[in-house]
Structure 1
Amino acid sequence: MLLNLCIKDYALIDNVSISFGPGLNILTGETGAGKSIIIDAINLIIGERAYTDFIRTGKQNASVEAVFEYEDDAVDEILKEYGIEPEDNTLIITREINAQGRSISRLNGKMVPVSALKRVGKLIVDIHGQHEHQSLLDSKNHMRILDLLGDEDISKCKAEVNRLYKKYCQIQKQINELEKRHLEFSREQDRLRYELDELEKAQLKPDEDISLQEDKKILENAEKIYGALEFAYNALYQGFEDLSVIDGLSKIIDSLEKIVGIYAPVESITESLKNILYELEDISSSLRNLRDSIDFDGSKLDLLNKRLELLDRLKSKYNKSLPELIDYKAQIAAELDNAFNVTEEIDELKTMLYNIESELGKSANELHKKRHRVANHLEESIAKELKDLAMKNVKFKVDIRVKNSPNGIDLNGEKVSVTENGIDEVEFLISTNPGEPLKPLAKIISGGESSRIMLALKSIIAKVDNISCLIFDEIDTGIGGRTAQAVGEKLSKIARNHQILCVTHSPQIASIGDYHYLIKKESKGEHTSTKVYCIEGEDRINELARMLGGAEITKNTITHAQEMLNMAKKLKKG
């Protein structure tokens, strides 16, 4: 609901603040007074193009600010996208334009792109008349409106279609990913098999290259190692020309044992020497074994070098260490094993997809039938509304199409496109004259005729439409008398659940309003400006009398105006 509209230095307006009320708000005034300026200002607020021509002559800037009250949670989501915290379902939209053509837009005081205003505007205001901002002209909204009219019957069916469609897409995605992996694997399969065969034949062992390097070092220095071990062993055990170390130590121990009984201090020394002797005997035995293990076979060194060359070549080829090569071999083997499992998994998923597709097709077809039933009822209701508005020759139809697609689901032997909303494309069509073909709503004549057609539609869908503020611009063009009265009654009916702003020249429509605003062009010297007054009582009677009789207000027109207001009160109470 539009609570307040402030306009400054815009067209003929110096500075105007208008507080609108709930229900039906009527805007009247003489031709050229500036009624359209108010609607243009609201269009500016909801993201329509800004022109520097709108800036008041002699001023550098023009600004419009609107305060809205809303209930649609989608507005909160948009605000959060731009880092704006919602404030008690109140929204302040500001738009400024300067003489250089720059436009500044704000939501609750924070600067945002004009696209943000457009997104929010579609949720809070619907303008019908010579303007593009009409939700009903956008075919994207037609399915949503039709489904809302179907109440719980359609919403349950639609929820089931949505659930199955998501599952269908999820399985299809899994199949596509697995098939992609399988295709990539097929291209690499020969290479992987060759690599696995090569690595398996190599019979790799952890840290083998390190131990082979140690063996190579020993074989290359066999003579040197053998000589050192031989010398050490002989020195300890065999001796050369003199006694060996072990024989010499044995003689020392024998000599000391002879005096242990008479000279106690040597007892501990003797025991220590015995322990040393035992260790030297073990050491000499180890040296002998090591010496005897030294291999002088040159062919073994050749085999070892060849093995090392193989390992180095594999490490260089794959750019991996030996442990990494062993892990890579296991990885390749696993990939080759999984290839067979992937094929089986794809087959299982395709079976699941077939079953889900069948369920989805049945649910989507059921939703399709339900929409047709709701569409038939809507067409009948709109026909009645149009007849009341003296537009009995206007034909309205809900076009529900099913689009074929080679990538769609199978339905009765045909491939049809499907989305989370089912298989349907919905569009409202209209023919305004006998013999003319049905056309999209966006193609109908703009102005009063368009407004009345939209009024007929709004009369039916108002209960499910969550756009709280509706604006009808000069809805009375080309009508009068009983038809104008019917338009006013329908506006009043819709205004029970929506706020309506209606620009009109019809006294029948104006009299039924809950609030009445008079737009006047006033001049002081060479300065002319548009003013807006909320009128009631005698002022309102006089304005209705002017609308009835033209420039001259007579006793009869005043009496007639009063009667119209009295009739309007009775109508609202009824």
Structure 2
Amino acid sequence: MLTGLAIRNVVLIEALDLSFGRGLGVLTGETGAGKSILLDSLGLVLGDRADGGLIRAGADEASVTATFEFAQLPAALGAALAEAEISVETGEPLIIRRRLRAEAGNAVGSRAFVNDQPVSVALLRELARSLVELHGQHDDRGLVNARGHRALLDRYARAEASDVAAAWERWRAAETALTAARDRLAAAAAEQDLLVAHLAELALLAPEVGEEDELAGQRAAMQKGERLSGDLAELQHLWTGSDSALASLRSASRRLDRIAHEHPLLTEALEALDRAVIEASEAEDKLGRAAEALSHDPMLLDRIETRLFDLRAAGRKHGCTVDELPARMIEMRAALDRIEGGEAAIADLDRAAQDAGLDYRAKAESLSVARAEAARRLDAAVAAELAPLKLDAARFRTAVVRQPEDRWGPHGVDAAEFLISTNPGADFAPLAKIASGGELSRFILALKVALAEEGGAATVIFDEIDRGVGGAVASAIGERLARLAEGGQLLAVTHSPQVAARGTAHYLIAKSSEGTVTRTSVRQLDGAGRQEEIARMLSGAEITPEARAQAERLLEQA
């Protein structure tokens, strides 16, 4: 609820600090005293448009700070704050500040803060729905806004709308899965012939992982052998045959072996020659093996090059490397398997979607029945409140209308709106289209009383709900306002002494002038001050003893 309001340099208010509590707080004062300034100031922290005319003459800037406190943070308010990454601990106040600054020309700068964190004005408007419900001459929030009527009716009906929302989500998810599966199957079926052709082509090619590198190595070796074939042939000719160098070494070794015992040096020479023969024999062996390894078969080389070309062409065709071709074949087989088994899977998904749809419809129909029954009870409850509020000729109706299927949603299959007719024979129309602001406020009061605790903001404000009425009607309004304020907070700007006498707190708004400076002030009245103010409201400019006595009786009756 609203516990504090600090106003600086707004119109006629230079500096004002107000504290509010639970129950019914009434604000009174003479016409033109500045009651609208308080509401305009509160409107700033609730996200109303910045207006340079609100800055007090002679001041550069104006500011309004509102403090709200909660035993438990409302769920919608907590969600909005969490989304804005603003943390409010249990028991911690929520402080909203709005600052206006006059700029060049007629421009006005505006900044907003929630618990000292800069925020957008749009966030203030979102928070306002959970903070303050204002009903006045130009009410376009709270109960007047048809967008909230369905949720209010559901709470009044004690209906589990969340079950319908959960069923809707399951149905949408099932339909989405079915549509996606059908799209995938249609796309795959359109490519089925191409998949079969590609898979047959790759199966005939039979690519293997690592095959490209192996073939490339073989081709490189053959190409090198082709290039070295002349040298190798000449070396082999020099190294083999009876007149080759190796044959000469062996012949020399045999001859030296016959005379090596004749001298130690000959023995050493034989040993060196034997080593040369061994090394030369190894060279001969390696030359032979090299010639064999580097031998090239033109026909084999052509087959290798053709295979490499086919493999690489297939890789380019399927957008992958040659080594990835076997995996691509597996993917193609899986896609064909999905096509073959796709119809069965779609049948299962279709059954699941139909079951989810039936479940949603059943829950939505049950909710519709609960709404229709609650609408009848609410209509009767509001009708019982109209006569005491001098709305005898008026009629109230809760319209629950089934929507076309394309407008069904987590809320169910109905639209709901509160309608009224203020004159006999007149058509029912939305609350917002009532011409008389006083009638609208009293209708809202009747609806609030009927709904009791079924939702609304933490703080409710009625602006001159008693305009144009008096006597028994004003007493009825005061009694209902007091009843609504029990256990909560309700503020009423009033001209009615019967309403003012019902307040648990009474604030007097007054205007004073000093020379050319006019100021508006607000102070909370004590018991004697309340009696005097209510007497003024009863008698006018001159307060009579009779008015004071009547004021005392009103306070005692309250």
Deviation (angstroms), 1:74: 2.8
**Matched residue pairs, number?**
547
Q: Return the letter of the residue paired with 1:560.
A: Q
Q: TM-score, normalising length from structure 1?
A: 0.85
Deviation (angstroms), 1:237: 8.1
2:84 maps to which of 82, 86, 89: 82
In 2, Cα distance between equivalents of 1:506 and 1:77 = 39
**What SS does the corresponding residue of 1:4 show, helix, strand or coil?**
strand
Deviation (angstroms), 1:21: 2.1
In 1, Cα distance between equivalents of 2:423 and 2:258 = 142
Tell me if the contact between 1:125 and 1:468 (Cα under 8 Å) persists in the aligned partners: yes
Deviation (angstroms), 1:372: 0.9
Tell me if the contact between 1:237 and 1:247 (Cα under 8 Å) persists in the aligned partners: no
Deviation (angstroms), 1:283: 9.2
Q: Identify if the C-alpha distance between structure 1 residues 385 and 311 changes in structure 2 by more than 3 Å, giving closer, same or farther.
A: same
The answer for the alignment partner of 2:411 in structure 1 is 421
Tell me if the contact between 2:100 and 2:111 (Cα under 8 Å) persists in the aligned partners: yes
The answer for the alignment partner of 2:473 in structure 1 is 483
The answer for the alignment partner of 1:556 in structure 2 is 546
Q: Return the letter of the residue paired with 1:174.
A: A
1:317-396 correspondence to structure 2 within 5 Å: 317-318=317-318, 320-396=320-396
Q: Identify if the C-alpha distance between structure 1 residues 255 and 24 changes in structure 2 by more than 3 Å, giving closer, same or farther.
A: farther
**301-310 or 374-383, larger mean C-alpha shift:** 301-310
**What SS does the corresponding residue of 2:333 show, helix, strand or coil?**
helix
Q: Identify if the C-alpha distance between structure 1 residues 73 and 367 changes in structure 2 by more than 3 Å, giving closer, same or farther.
A: closer
In 1, Cα distance between equivalents of 2:226 and 2:50 = 99
Tell me if the contact between 1:162 and 1:420 (Cα under 8 Å) persists in the aligned partners: yes
Q: TM-score, normalising length from structure 2?
A: 0.87
1:162 maps to which of 159, 165, 178: 165
Tell me if the contact between 2:212 and 2:323 (Cα under 8 Å) persists in the aligned partners: no
Percentage of pairs with the same residue: 33
Q: Cα deviations across residues 225-275 of structure 1 (Å, max 9, x unaligned)?
A: 67777777788886546774996799699989x99xxx9xx9xx99xx89x
Q: Return the letter of the residue paired with 1:342.
A: G
Q: Identify if the C-alpha distance between structure 1 residues 329 and 75 changes in structure 2 by more than 3 Å, giving closer, same or farther.
A: same
Q: Return the letter of the residue paired with 1:58.
A: G
Q: Is the aligned partner of 1:172 residue 2:175?
A: yes
Q: Identify if the C-alpha distance between structure 1 residues 565 and 284 changes in structure 2 by more than 3 Å, giving closer, same or farther.
A: same
The answer for the alignment partner of 1:115 in structure 2 is 122
1:219-234 correspondence to structure 2 within 5 Å: 219=222
In 2, Cα distance between equivalents of 1:188 and 1:2 = 66
In 2, Cα distance between equivalents of 1:486 and 1:224 = 116
The answer for the alignment partner of 2:112 in structure 1 is 105
In 2, Cα distance between equivalents of 1:227 and 1:66 = 101
Q: Identify if the C-alpha distance between structure 1 residues 93 and 299 changes in structure 2 by more than 3 Å, giving closer, same or farther.
A: closer
In 2, Cα distance between equivalents of 1:218 and 1:14 = 98
Q: Is the aligned partner of 1:452 residue 2:427?
A: no
Deviation (angstroms), 1:179: 2.3
Q: Cα deviations across residues 294-327 of structure 1 (Å, max 9, x unaligned)?
A: 8775444443343333334334444543112333
In 1, Cα distance between equivalents of 2:207 and 2:367 = 64
In 2, Cα distance between equivalents of 1:330 and 1:338 = 12
Q: Is the aligned partner of 1:200 residue 2:207?
A: no
Deviation (angstroms), 1:567: 0.8
Deviation (angstroms), 1:163: 2.6
Q: Identify if the C-alpha distance between structure 1 residues 283 and 376 changes in structure 2 by more than 3 Å, giving closer, same or farther.
A: farther
Tell me if the contact between 1:230 and 1:288 (Cα under 8 Å) persists in the aligned partners: no
**What SS does the corresponding residue of 2:519 show, helix, strand or coil?**
strand
Tell me if the contact between 1:237 and 1:245 (Cα under 8 Å) persists in the aligned partners: no
1:448-527 correspondence to structure 2 within 5 Å: 448-527=438-517
**What SS does the corresponding residue of 1:102 show, helix, strand or coil?**
strand
Deviation (angstroms), 1:288: 6.5
**184-193 or 360-369, larger mean C-alpha shift:** 184-193
Q: Identify if the C-alpha distance between structure 1 residues 224 and 173 changes in structure 2 by more than 3 Å, giving closer, same or farther.
A: closer
The answer for the alignment partner of 1:62 in structure 2 is 62
**What SS does the corresponding residue of 2:454 show, helix, strand or coil?**
coil
Tell me if the contact between 1:60 and 1:98 (Cα under 8 Å) persists in the aligned partners: yes
Q: Identify if the C-alpha distance between structure 1 residues 129 and 455 changes in structure 2 by more than 3 Å, giving closer, same or farther.
A: same
Q: Identify if the C-alpha distance between structure 1 residues 246 and 145 changes in structure 2 by more than 3 Å, giving closer, same or farther.
A: farther
Q: Return the letter of the residue paired with 2:331.
A: Q
Q: Is the aligned partner of 1:541 residue 2:531?
A: yes
In 1, Cα distance between equivalents of 2:422 and 2:254 = 136
Tell me if the contact between 2:45 and 2:65 (Cα under 8 Å) persists in the aligned partners: yes
In 2, Cα distance between equivalents of 1:242 and 1:510 = 134
In 1, Cα distance between equivalents of 2:319 and 2:151 = 60
Q: Return the letter of the residue paired with 1:147.
A: D
1:142 maps to which of 129, 142, 149: 149
In 1, Cα distance between equivalents of 2:527 and 2:297 = 127
Q: Return the letter of the residue paired with 1:434.
A: P
Tell me if the contact between 2:458 and 2:489 (Cα under 8 Å) persists in the aligned partners: yes
Q: Cα deviations across residues 162-202 of structure 1 (Å, max 9, x unaligned)?
A: 23222111111111222232333344444444433333332
> RMSD over aligned Cα, in angstroms?
3.4
Q: Identify if the C-alpha distance between structure 1 residues 134 and 214 changes in structure 2 by more than 3 Å, giving closer, same or farther.
A: closer
Q: Cα deviations across residues 462-516 of structure 1 (Å, max 9, x unaligned)?
A: 3122522110111111211111111111111111122111111111111111111
In 1, Cα distance between equivalents of 2:402 and 2:443 = 26
Q: Identify if the C-alpha distance between structure 1 residues 220 and 442 changes in structure 2 by more than 3 Å, giving closer, same or farther.
A: same
Tell me if the contact between 1:216 and 1:304 (Cα under 8 Å) persists in the aligned partners: yes
In 1, Cα distance between equivalents of 2:132 and 2:214 = 83
Q: Identify if the C-alpha distance between structure 1 residues 253 and 433 changes in structure 2 by more than 3 Å, giving closer, same or farther.
A: farther
In 1, Cα distance between equivalents of 2:86 and 2:232 = 87
In 2, Cα distance between equivalents of 1:243 and 1:404 = 105
In 2, Cα distance between equivalents of 1:253 and 1:443 = 134
Q: Cα deviations across residues 38-60 of structure 1 (Å, max 9, x unaligned)?
A: 12211222111222222222222
In 2, Cα distance between equivalents of 1:243 and 1:52 = 114
Q: Return the letter of the residue paired with 1:162.
A: A
Q: Identify if the C-alpha distance between structure 1 residues 316 and 173 changes in structure 2 by more than 3 Å, giving closer, same or farther.
A: closer
Q: Return the letter of the residue paired with 1:428.
A: F
Q: Return the letter of the residue paired with 2:156.
A: L
Deviation (angstroms), 1:335: 2.1
Gaps of 5+ in 2: none
Deviation (angstroms), 1:418: 2.5
The answer for the alignment partner of 2:309 in structure 1 is 309
**What SS does the corresponding residue of 2:329 show, helix, strand or coil?**
helix
Tell me if the contact between 2:312 and 2:322 (Cα under 8 Å) persists in the aligned partners: no
Q: Return the letter of the residue paired with 1:109.
A: D
Q: Identify if the C-alpha distance between structure 1 residues 248 and 496 changes in structure 2 by more than 3 Å, giving closer, same or farther.
A: farther
Deviation (angstroms), 1:375: 1.1
Deviation (angstroms), 1:390: 2.1
Deviation (angstroms), 1:289: 8.0
